[in-house]
Chain A
């Protein structure tokens, strides 16, 4: 176990060092690609932090991402940057707590649909407010943030999200979430305040997503609701986390990296049929890799030891 932990630490450190060299390449394309990679890595990992153990499939990623982006669009020019990020994070946490308290009693497909509807609701609210109250449909984001700044912030957030996930997994809260994922009734009878545990983790995960939205906002310079609240993000993050394996902290990154690269390639080569291909990939992942890439890695050592045959025989 300790050998594995050391192994992970070495891989993680190596990845960090490699990533730290990207801005030095001085190539705008590679930097942009690396930003995409980090963005989806953080989003998918944050998604997996909540949805992995609880098995609640959330399509609200876009809602939180968009709220973060809009916070920057509204406050970015008025306040200091750290303060803007802080406010975005707080908004995300509050929104998640409200949504969590009202929806986490739902389960299964109802929760999925509600989170999807929530994104649309928030988008329509923003549109309504912008059209009727502020009388603008788009906003310009003029802040003094370069691509490199975005990159470093995302990297810091990546490190933070993995540390946070690791700490939670070792905590009583993390264990409570796993018990809830296995059997919610049992969790309650073991003395777990299931509502609190679910809302707490949902809020933590949502705060991270909101921060990603806020950090990414300066990349656009022009924002409107359909850009900030693009529901595609929810689906892409979901696919990535499932491909990687959401039941492990390091699972989603295994899906985020290859799929970000693939989406990059597909959207450049096949801009018109992109969504069709996306759908097919989704189907393939669900059928072929129910436990994700992480599941494959877990099976590997067992197969080498011959554990698989034992389990079949048992």
Chain B
């Protein structure tokens, strides 16, 4: 592929974070090119969400570097990283329950510079609601939404910031088959818009359908990296997921 010639949106190198004696992320490194969808895979507890939290600024890394469009962001406050063009969704969906759908999306765009005028913001909010399939529901309290609609709303809020890089933490988890198809198409359409995406996902059909490349983690380390089909048939990956005689046993 022409990955090498394209600009790197995200460059992670030597990333490490320990909680007491547990090293959750250990010497992690990878790159994501402009317009790519990269899957971050691994069994439960392998450090995927911690890695996302380090990138979005929820946690500070112990060592290592994270570059967003060439700018070092490791250790920056989350709100600064957000303003530099990184948006995310959360493993446990976080919508603002006390507000309606319109305000939820407004939260995503109100604090980004340059500030939009009220009229521009309204148009953009309506557009985003349509985009994720919540058109006409702008007045509805977020607390009343169904599970998939909460996910849609959370995604719309992340998109409101016009991110260059979008981190999706198990955004497709818990959807039924038809919702999953809708979700996959939605994410694919984001790629068409030029948004670079890193997604943590356990739904393998979705990973196969969406990801150009994958990085697989196990116990905090990267154990495989490459084109999706190759990685999923990699012996070490199969062993990490299915058990068996592990290499470090």
CB distance from B160 to the nearest CB of A (A): 8
Tell which of B18-26, B90-98, B177-185, B187-195 binds the partner: B90-98
Tell which of A67-75, A136-144, A180-188 binds the partner: A180-188
Q: Are A178 and B99 in contact (CB under 8 A)?
A: yes
Which of B58, B96, B97, B144 is most buried by chain A, counting CB atoms within 10 A of its CB? B96
Contacts of B87 in A (CB 8 A): 189
Closest A-chain residue to B96, C-beta based? A182
Closest A-chain residue to B144, C-beta based? A314
Q: Counting CB contacts under 8 A, is A199 at the interface?
A: no
Tell which of B38-46, B75-83, B209-217 binds the partner: B75-83
Contacts of B83 in A (CB 8 A): 191
Q: How far is the CA of A191 from the CA of B81 in the complex (A)?
A: 8
Closest A-chain residue to B115, C-beta based? A172
Contacts of B88 in A (CB 8 A): 189
Q: Counting CB contacts under 8 A, is A220 at the interface?
A: no
Which of A175, A182, A183, A185 is most buried by chain B, counting CB atoms within 10 A of its CB? A182
Q: How far is the CA of A183 from the CA of B143 in the complex (A)?
A: 13
Contacts of B56 in A (CB 8 A): 189
Contacts of A314 in B (CB 8 A): 144
Closest A-chain residue to B86, C-beta based? A189
Q: Are B78 and A175 in contact (CB under 8 A)?
A: no
Q: How far is the CA of A311 from the CA of B145 in the complex (A)?
A: 12
Q: How far is the CA of A186 from the CA of B99 in the complex (A)?
A: 13
Q: Are A182 and B79 in contact (CB under 8 A)?
A: no
Q: Are A189 and B106 in contact (CB under 8 A)?
A: no
**With A172-B110, A176-B111, A185-B58: A191-B82 Cβ-Cβ less than 8 Å:** yes
Q: Number of B residues whose C-beta is below 8 Å from A? A: 26
**With A175-B106, A189-B78: A182-B97 Cβ-Cβ less than 8 Å:** yes
* Complex partner residue of B161 from A181, A185, A190, CB under 8 angstroms: A190
Contacts of A185 in B (CB 8 A): 58, 78, 90, 94
Q: Are A179 and B82 in contact (CB under 8 A)?
A: no
CB distance from A48 to the nearest CB of B (A): 16
Q: Are A188 and B82 in contact (CB under 8 A)?
A: yes
Contacts of A311 in B (CB 8 A): 144
Q: How far is the CA of A178 from the CA of B56 in the complex (A)?
A: 22
Contacts of A175 in B (CB 8 A): 106-107, 110
Q: How far is the CA of A193 from the CA of B110 in the complex (A)?
A: 12
Q: How far is the CA of A188 from the CA of B83 in the complex (A)?
A: 10
Q: Are A179 and B57 in contact (CB under 8 A)?
A: no
Q: Counting CB contacts under 8 A, is B112 at the interface?
A: yes
Q: Counting CB contacts under 8 A, is A257 at the interface?
A: no
Q: How far is the CA of A172 from the CA of B87 in the complex (A)?
A: 20
Closest A-chain residue to B99, C-beta based? A182
Closest A-chain residue to B167, C-beta based? A189
**With A188-B77, A188-B79: A183-B96 Cβ-Cβ less than 8 Å:** yes
Q: Counting CB contacts under 8 A, is A51 at the interface?
A: no
Contacts of A181 in B (CB 8 A): 98
Q: Counting CB contacts under 8 A, is B157 at the interface?
A: yes
Closest B-chain residue to A188, C-beta based? B78
Q: Counting CB contacts under 8 A, is B220 at the interface?
A: no
Q: Counting CB contacts under 8 A, is B108 at the interface?
A: yes
Q: Counting CB contacts under 8 A, is A192 at the interface?
A: yes
Q: Are B79 and A179 in contact (CB under 8 A)?
A: no
CB distance from A12 to the nearest CB of B (A): 25
Contacts of B82 in A (CB 8 A): 188-191
Q: How far is the CA of A311 from the CA of B144 in the complex (A)?
A: 8
Within 123-174 of B, Cβ neighbours of A (below 8 Å) are at 144, 157, 161
Q: Counting CB contacts under 8 A, is A194 at the interface?
A: yes
Knowing that A172-B115, A190-B107 touch, tell me 17 more A-B residue pairs with CB under 8 angstroms: A178-B98, A179-B96, A182-B97, A182-B98, A183-B96, A185-B90, A185-B94, A186-B94, A186-B107, A187-B79, A187-B107, A188-B82, A189-B79, A189-B82, A190-B110, A191-B112, A193-B77
A-B contacts, 7 listed (Cβ < 8 Å): A175-B107, A178-B99, A179-B96, A185-B58, A186-B94, A189-B87, A190-B79
